[in-house]
Structure 1
């Protein structure tokens, strides 16, 4: 049983039975269908409608040429489509008048599929960028993903908003390519050694580098200690750092061992703090991009998650990456700019949104009060009219 496949077949069968249903599916695009043969057939149906097919006159039974012409047109672009399959699609449609609802099912599947594909691309680019020491590719694909989510929200009939999930996902542990682990650890230790030994070095990085940017949690906690000393205006050296670490419980709970601390204060201590800080932050940016991509993919693969919530939760999952990006740009002397924020349309809902909204199930009419009910038998519900092939 495949609900998405049945929905695709049903919406195409509805249009084959009743060509007028195409006017209620303007918001549905061919690439929203998963199967290539369905994409080709939906494209063909829209094309022959635009060419003024006689079936669009709206009077009398639907001519059989509406089916055969659509199959012939689609057959120019895809193999394996036959008239018998078109008739199978017709039999797969319970009610042609429900075409907009079937179409929304197809769109829902497309939203999950599209978000998954773009999240995978962002994750791949983040891992590649970590190996190459580049960030531009990951930031570009993050912007692409944000734009895709915004467009899908408006096609679905809602405004894109950042909404946190009711049950926050447990953050994945930072994932680094194996080739990066040693180099990142060395950069972080080298940076901490410079910050301890060189007076004034904290002032070069404190405005944009955060403890969470360190891949090693111990290094992040030591950087927090250095930040506290800097904030209070106290001198920074090996002894003051060790004292601050003790006050924060890092020695009592075993977080900071003698060997870990010795690796820092026995370091060279001479270097460019700003350059090293940017190296640490570049690694942080790529890890954050990869973590955001994994979170978005996990949301998209949850078939029980409604499209509106999926889109809004995915936008929220990209928030940490926007925050790190803003600090990255500050570190490089550029005005901090975030990814394009999803904003409501100033001219009101776009046509695609209105069409999508009309496809939602209409509310049932309120029942009559008990004292107004007729004692006679209720009339049978009328079946929606549909045009049959002649």
Structure 2
């Protein structure tokens, strides 16, 4: 009869191995248990920086208890028993055997500051990943009453995390940044396409609005054809060329939008002539809003992908995150230009200054002017 497999043993075998930082945490705790006086110099690492509740509880217990005398600590385990009792009040599962195991895991107690630095770096990675995840979720939450404002607030919080990491971990020369693979382009949104067609039609009917909408660029469009047509409108406006559906079609041909079979001439003339009653600025803001949320989502994904790569150093995380946030910052500036009302024109004074009063007649003749010979 074949042996019956033990379900508990099978479950343990299926668990993934702990990450490298877990062993670093064990080495640091072992150093502090072996030489408790070293805990006083490790003030920069918080308990939540540890990956398990047991390790966090042990660090808190070690800090809460006064360090014993080295000679006394080497003779008995009284202080270790106090640490175990204090940590056991916060979490369960810690044993005396595990404390001795931690001591054995520490190769060099004097390397405790280096161990703490590694744990801080990994904690920074988790904080950055969590902030990026919150930004991603905010961009997808359609139930938010102020979706753009909340998204920008989360982006600001993410920027604060990046700046804090850069302050605590200064850059080092010779460390190249890592660039994650480009995010695949999302499927075309029919609602976005309809808004873009309405903008192109209304802007063709009212070309004066194109010059006022410098905050909208072709990169904000989801359809490459629509982006090319918007560039046509910008070019025609700057050249002073008359604008109507026919001239825009001719400009589209020069940009290769018709010759490559991207769009049929009749189709372009059709939707360029279907302007509605809304001003172009309204549709432009809708397109820019969608672009802002898409860019924020893409930036969060890029940062999240960076944090998921264990080969990425802390410096590379900072550089990569700042590059991703720079794209979002550029769209945010354009959004502020689009949604900020223009300043009220200064009032021009209508008062006409009175002519100067005539003074008394001169009593002496004016001096003669000598003309040089």
TM-score range (shorter-chain normalised) is: 0.7 to 0.9
SS of match in other structure, 2:98: helix
Matched, 1:32 2:49: yes
Q: 1:258 offset after TM fit, Å?
A: 3.6
2:340 is the counterpart of 1:327 = no
Indicate which of 52, 55, 61 corresponds to 1:44.
61
Distance 2:302 2:267 in 1: 32
2:97 pairs, out of 84, 90, 109, with 84
- After TM superposition, the structure 1 = structure 2 runs for residues 266-345 of structure 1, keeping only pairs within 5 Å, are 266-333=273-340
Who is 1:345 aligned against? none
1:240-270 deviations in whole A, cap 9, x for unaligned? Answer: 1111111112112223334651452242343
1:3 maps to 2:28:
no
* 1:313-334 deviation digits (Å, cap 9, x = unpaired): 1111111000000110111117
Pairwise CA distance, 1:5? 1.1
Larger Rg: 2
Contact 2:88 2:94 (C-alpha < 8 Å) held by counterparts:
yes
User: How many residues in Structure 1 have an aligned counterpart in Structure 2?
Assistant: 324
Residues 330-369 of structure 1: pairs in structure 2 closer than 5 A: 330-333=337-340
The CA RMSD measured in Å over matched residues stands at 2.7
Quick one: distance in 2 between partners of 1:132 and 1:172? 28
Pairing partner for 1:21 from 18, 21, 38: 38
Q: CA deviation at 1:169?
A: 4.1
1:221 has 2:266 as partner: no
* 2:168 counterpart (134, 146, 155): 155
Decide whether aligned partners of structure 1 residues 291 and 13 sit closer, same or farther in structure 2, where only a CA change above 3 A counts. same
Q: Give distance in 1, aligned partners of 2:152 and 2:85.
A: 44
| C-alpha separation in 1, matches of 2:113 and 2:271 | 64
- The answer to whether residue 191 in structure 2 is matched with residue 189 in structure 1 is no
Q: 1:28·1:107 contact (CA, 8 Å) conserved in 2?
A: yes
Return 5+ residue gaps in structure 1 as ranges: 336-390
Distance 1:118 1:221 in 2: 35
Deviation for aligned residue 1:106 = 1.4
- Provide TM-score, normalisation by structure 2: 0.80
| Counterparts of 1:66 and 1:155, CA distance in 2 | 33
TM-score by length of 1: 0.76
Give the secondary-structure state (helix, strand or coil) at the position aligned to 2:331: helix
State the distance in 2 between where 1:147 and 1:24 align: 26
Q: Are the aligned partners of 2:138 and 2:147 in contact in 1 as well (CA < 8 Å)?
A: no
Cα distance in 1, alignment partners of residues 43 and 176 from structure 2: 31
CA contact (8 A) 1:175 1:287 kept: no
Using CA pairs below 8 Å that are at least 6 residues apart, which structure has the higher relative contact order?
Answer: 1
Q: CA distance change for structure 1 residues 87 and 123 in 2, over 3 Å: closer, same or farther?
A: same
Change in Cα spacing, 1:129 to 1:279, as seen in structure 2 (3 Å) is: same
Given the superposition, is the C-alpha separation of residues 46 and 334 from structure 1 closer, same or farther in structure 2, using an over 3 Å criterion? farther
- In 1: Cα distance, 2:134 partner to 2:301 partner: 11
Cα 1:46–1:155 shift into 2, 3 Å: farther
1:37-94 alpha-carbon deviations (Å, 9 max, x no partner): 111111221122xxxx251x55554452322222222222222222222222111111
Aligned partner of 2:209 in structure 1 is 201
| Conserved 8 A contact 1:197-1:269 | no
Provide, for residues 250-302 of structure 1, a one-character-per-residue CA deviation record: whole Å limited to 9, x for no partner.
Answer: 11222333465145224234321111111111000000001101111111111
Q: Contact 2:236–2:242 at 8 Å: present in 1 too?
A: yes
Q: CA deviation at 1:228?
A: 0.7
With over 3 angstroms needed to count, the CA separation of the structure-2 counterparts of 1:243 and 1:269, relative to structure 1, is: farther
1:217 CA displacement: 1.6
Secondary structure of 2:311's aligned partner: coil
Q: Match of 2:274, SS?
A: coil
Structure 2: gaps of 5 or more residues: 1-16, 343-373
Distance in 1, Cα, partners of 2:203 & 2:155? 32
The structure 2 residue matched to 1:231, chosen from 222, 238, 241, is 238
